[in-house]
């Protein structure tokens, strides 16, 4: 979803991450991305 873009967004929802077992507790999301040259990628990435 974010490959080749300068910026992108990730939808945060129960459909994506599952139901929230602790609805009254604040949450945070950390994302780590690594950019490499196109010739060194195999089409996979890790978020």
Residue-level pLDDT at 45: 56
* Structural domain that includes position 18: 1-47
And the tokens for 18?
Answer: 């599952």
Question: Would you state the pLDDT for residue 12?
Answer: 82
User: What is the DSSP code string of 4-18?
Assistant: T-S-------HHHH-
> Tens of pLDDT along 1-43?
677 788 888 788 888 888 888 989 998 888 887 777 666 555 5
**How many domains are there within the chain?**
1
pTM (2 d.p.): 0.36
């Amino acid at each position: 979803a974010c490959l080749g873009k300068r910026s992108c967004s990730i939808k945060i929802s129960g459909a994506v991450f599952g139901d929230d077992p602790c609805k009254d507790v604040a949450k945070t999301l950390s994302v780590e991305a690594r950019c490499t040259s196109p010739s060194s990628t195999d089409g996979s990435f890790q978020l």
